[in-house]
Amino acid sequence: MSKEHFGTDGVRGMVGTDPMTADFAMRLASAAAQVLVPEGGTVVIGKDTRLSGYMFESALEAGFVAAGADVLLIGPLPTPGIAQLTQQFAADLGVMISASHNPYDDNGIKFFDRSGSKLSDAVEREIENQLKHRAITLESSKLGKAKRIDTARTRYQEFCASTFPDDLTLDGVKAVFDGANGAGYKVGPRTLASLGAEVIPIGCSPNGCNINDGCGSTSPELLQLTVPAVKADVGIALDGDGDRVVMVDEGGNLLDGDQLLYILATARQRDGRLKGPVVGTVMSNLGLEHALSEAKIDFRRVSVGDRYVLEKLKETGGIIGGETSGHMIMLDQTTTGDGLVCALQVLAVMKQTGKTLSELASGMPKYPQTMVNVRTEKRLDPGASPAIQDAVVAAEVELADTGRVVLRASGTEPVIRVMVEGEDEDQVLALAKRLAAVVAETAT
């Protein structure tokens, strides 16, 4: 059975339109409580810096309390911080209010189970089934309570710092930190500074409307200019909810999730700590696959979405995987993607090896890759269209063994993503445009 409201990462949409309304949030909380929170159980609620976060926080609080759950209000904190605190407080459920890397007028609701992991498809379907019924309000004696947790940020900072090797510090490291005007705007600079780094913050002045606006992992251009301008060793950019990270080397060159995954996987291999295969997605650069193969590291691909990376890691006994976007999972450190923890792991490799970020990334060639996003007015399955499939086959024949073609529907937007990758940049660009035109024509 397909899901009506849950996408690849919770429920998401434009604020004020279904499902992102206060009424729906309250009903969603009631449904989730009935499925996952026993009477008298506890729910942790966090949010990023979007203006609408206040509204959804109140609506969710009302829904959970009415259903008999106690609520711990965390305030602005990265998504992985909510996963971590769900475990620390032995809560039954963690909830994060965020639309991740999307603009401020979008928002979303993500859930974590008591182990700090995202919910399974089966549990999400149970919640959706419960949504068919009215929200409940128990009698007064059975209602839950709500309180704010003032120590939440400090707790999460201490956890992040604890993932950095005890025998190392960041003394002598000059880092530019871009918080995307989002959930990591305080914890990022403070954690880095606590380990000894000299920190220059940008994108750390949220006003409720500027999250991901010309800053953060989806817009790292200012970071790329700032790092060499201030002679910093490294730049770090999170997305709005702090579960993704990209980095910038000393020369201002951008390192995406594939390159960070290469650095972390090969470092763990050298230390004898790598277990199982490294997991990427269908969008991972072919250069990553080839570089890991040369290092004799097993590499597996899954569908786009950190939940699928996590499933494959658990299935195969692996500990590290990630997406090109910078959504990294390190099961030897965390239960979910954590941009700040990932950055700390990369900084640790820099300190342990004495190498610059550019030197660490030099072992992985990046194949030219072009992505074209085609907006659609209706739901479209690229695999079900003969015209699109004929165009894909023709492109693959032209690329032969030197590239790849991937078409997929976005799980969060009405978009078909057309990706072409290969050795010849001009050929890649031409094929991507040709395929995008076919998709656009089919979608009308």
Which active-site residues does the annotation give? 100
At residue 317, φ and ψ (nearest 5 deg) are: 80, 15
Residue 200 β-bridge partners: 176
User: Do the Cβ atoms of 180 and 217 come closer than 8 Å?
Assistant: yes
Q: Which amino acid makes up residue 233?
A: D
Cα separation, 243 vs 116, in Å, equals 13
Token pair of 240, please?
């709005």
Cα separation, 90 vs 116, in Å, equals 10
The four Cα atoms 381, 387, 393, 399 give a dihedral, to 10 degrees, of -100
Cis peptide before 277 (omega within 30 of 0): no
CB-based contacts of 362: which residues, under 8 Å, 6+ apart? Answer: none
189 vs 201, 269, 357, CA distance in Å?
7, 29, 19
